Chain A
Amino acid sequence: MKLHEYQTKQIFKNYRLNVPNSILITDAEQLGDALKAIGDKCVLKCQVHAGGRGKAGGVKLVTNSNEASEYVNTMLMSNLVTHQTDEAGVPITSILVEELTNIKTELYLAMTLDRNNQCPTILASKAGGMEIEEVAESNPEDIIYENINPSVGLQSFQIRNLITKLEIPKESFEEFTHLIKTVVKIFYDIDASLLEINPLVISDDKKVIALDGKVNIEDDAMFRHPDLLELRDRTQEDQLEAEATDLGIAYVNLTGNVGCLVNGAGLAMATLDVTNQAGASPANFLDVGGGADIEKVAKAVSIILSDPKVTKVLVNIFGGILRCDIAADGIVSAYERTGSKLPLVVRMLGTNVDEGQKILRNSGLNVTFAETLSEAASAISKLSG
């Protein structure tokens, strides 16, 4: 689950990290009061769950209230398109009005999982403000890593390493040390999968300030953070993906027209691959999961059928825990509920496959059966629709 910058900064503030003063507005009418509190010369930052915001015009330095008002009227309730979003972009439902910070040095700081070393790691770089992916491609040696061993936790020497390599000025040692310790603490406290401060700023008067903040919380750990669940902003999510998340279905919206229903993540990826290789284009990744019942399958199929891009449906079920007759009942039920007439190619294998095929054959749905993965892919690409 992703957090907004303003939510992240509130957490930072709760942990006594320095962040610039700011006020969040969700309505243009709130701008006047915000400017009174922050000052007419300020930074306006669109709150969206997408990287590349600055380059896309989502951050603006304004020098007077007219300029501020013009920007807010243009941006608020419009969509921001960045290189990380699709063509439609993500809606801007709030803007952060933030005081100016005088910047002496801009740094990059983040904490995330290092898969190879099987532990969290702190990443830092002197190239603050730049996207870390670009730094990693062009100058990988400019990124500093400090792995956190879970048996001993963060050690002081690691902070000294960062101070030395980032050339932190002496006057900022204390605040920087507090920041690193706190970042590690927050990471564990909220089960973050990513915590990023870019840029991390050293101001003219040597204060250490988090000028931006980005947090992703690990979905698998949400069960122990019911309070954080309230911070979820559904307006920033793909609506079909959000619906699937609520149902516990792994779903990713893609750009094609073949709706895909599969059980198992690996097989679902494989199904997308063969579909593409056969010249057809999948509309989604969908793993309905092993323990699905009729209702869950029906809801998964309903999500597929409610996608306006979808003109035909490919079903690939390897019946193990999920029995083929359960899957078939779920499919029929979803078609009945939605009244959809879209044609299907169905490939079923494993537990109760005969019962499953019989249910579909007697359902009156427009079903083409396939035996193998390649037959299924070729059938779906030939199917008109």
Chain B
Amino acid sequence: MGILLNKDSRIMVQGITGKEGSFHATTGMEYGTNVVSGVTPGKGGQTFNETVPIFNTVSEAKEATNPNVSLIFVPPAFAPDAICEAASNEIPLIICITEGIPVNDMVGTIRYVQSKPVRLIGPNCPGAINPTDHCKVGIMPGAIHKPGRVGVVSRSGTLTYEAVHQLTILDIGQSSCVGIGGDPIIGTNYVDILNLYEEDPDTDIIVFIGEIGGTMEQEAAEHIKHHITKPVCSLIVGATAPAGKRMGHAGAIITGSTATAASKVAALKDAGCHIIPTPADIGDVVAKVLANN
């Protein structure tokens, strides 16, 4: 099983002919992902990698190939339009990788998405992967993953890979891994993903990686305390970041006492999470918790 993606996932790639889109569509297909169509306005009728039909509109791609996941690589100025196009066609899962979408554009886009029966992951995220079903929808390196029973959720890309790598070298596999994105406004938050892992029969334990900025980690902690029964191992990065400086992610900026790492770790501790003391200890903490259960 795993969450969000499985062997029945049919992927449509919006922006499939661009540099990023074509590269990651290809690596996804090499990993075993079922890419059924691509969308690039003006390139309809062409074929990607000699197998994947390209359409001018999502509507045509949906009609012809019946996708249930959209993966978006469209540049920031046009990404909100691409998200709305996928939502308008009620593609149930929309994963937007694009980094650098203006926040004011996302304010309206997010409300449109919420008015449709769809889920948006991202933007500015690495995507999601289900190693068991060989379904990779995003930019993560597939080879570091291993099928297993740990669910990973994080805001970030390479830090998620770090977590996965630490697990895999200890022979601990993953049921799914999801990066929800580093922007201030994103479609799916930690609580949504935690709920999916809680309900997933193939996930035994959750690795939850947060960072400075905002209060999303505190809300997740409150939710874990009352609604998540599976063990959660949690790490917060940015403990040593200075206040008022944006640490790469648009959302990662300390703007008050609640946005600090210390405040988030305290909330997670209070929620009964197994605290991962440093980013180097992800694998070890999970191994210990697994050994004790």
Contacts and interface: CB of A to CB of B under 8 A. Distances in A.
Interface string B272-288: 00000111110000000
A276 B261 CA distance: 14
Contacts of B23: 321
Interface stretch (A19-27, A111-119, A199-207, A356-364): A111-119
Interface stretch (A61-69, A217-225, A338-346): A217-225
A322 B103 CA distance: 27
A229 interface: no
Given A115-B214, A264-B159, A270-B279, A252 B247 contact: yes
Contact of B77 (A118, A223, A319): A223
B161 A150 contact: no
Contacts of A321: 23, 139
Given A137-B257, A319-B141, A373-B162, A221 B104 contact: yes
A133 B244 CA distance: 12
Interface string A60-102: 0000000000000000000000001000000000000000000
Max chain A C-beta neighbours (<10 A), residue from B154, B155, B162, B166 = B162
Contact of A318 (B107, B158, B215, B246): B158
Majority SS of interface residues in chain B? loop
Interface string B29-49: 000000000000000000000
B231 interface: no
A305 to B, nearest CB: 20
Interface stretch (B7-15, B63-71, B81-89, B235-243): B235-243
B242 A224 contact: no
B184 interface: yes
A351 B165 CA distance: 13
B156 A267 contact: yes
B159 A272 contact: no
B172 to A, nearest CB: 15
SS class of chain A's interface: helix, strand, loop or mixed? Answer: mixed
Given A250-B248, A285-B248, A269 B158 contact: no
Contacts of B257: 137
A247 interface: no
Interface in A110-145: 113, 115-116, 118-120, 133, 136-137
Nearest to A86: B242
B252 interface: yes
Q: How large is the interface on B (under 10, 10 to 19, 20 to 34, 35 or more residues)?
A: 35 or more
Given A188-B104, A274-B279, A290-B139, A252 B245 contact: yes
B248 A272 contact: no
Contact of A372 (B182, B214, B251, B280): B280
Interface string A204-220: 00000000000000111
A265 B278 contact: no
Given A188-B104, A193-B103, A266 B211 contact: yes
A374 B157 contact: no
Given A218-B102, A265-B182, A320-B139, A116 B215 contact: yes
Nearest to A351: B141
A269 B247 contact: yes
Contacts of B140: 320
A263 interface: yes
B36 to A, nearest CB: 24
Interface in B102-152: 102-104, 106-108, 110-111, 139-141, 144
A281 to B, nearest CB: 9
A254 B245 CA distance: 10
B203 interface: no
A268 interface: yes
A273 interface: yes
A151 interface: yes
A269 B107 contact: no
Central interface residue in B141, B182, B212, by most chain A CB within 10 Å? B141
A350 interface: yes
B155 A374 contact: no
Contacts of A282: 240
Q: Which of A219, A285, A351 has the most CB of B within 10 A?
A: A285
B209 interface: yes
A103 interface: no
Contacts of A274: 278-280
Contacts of B101: 220
B249 interface: yes
A226 interface: no
Nearest to A286: B248
Contact of B256 (A120, A136, A219): A136
A137 B172 CA distance: 44
A150 B107 contact: yes
Contact of A266 (B110, B158, B246): B158
A287 interface: yes
A266 B184 contact: no
Contact of A264 (B158, B239, B240): B158
Nearest to A282: B240
Contacts of A221: 102-104
Contacts of B201: none
A49 to B, nearest CB: 12
6 contacts: A137-B257, A220-B250, A221-B104, A266-B157, A266-B158, A318-B158
Instruction: Across the A-B interface, give the 9 residue pairs with the lowest CB-CB distance, nearest first.
Output: A266-B156, A265-B248, A264-B158, A266-B159, A270-B279, A374-B280, A221-B102, A267-B158, A250-B248
Given A218-B102, A264-B157, A265-B252, 19 more contacts: A115-B214, A115-B216, A118-B110, A118-B111, A150-B111, A218-B103, A220-B101, A221-B102, A223-B76, A262-B158, A266-B157, A266-B160, A266-B182, A266-B248, A267-B162, A269-B159, A270-B279, A291-B20, A320-B161
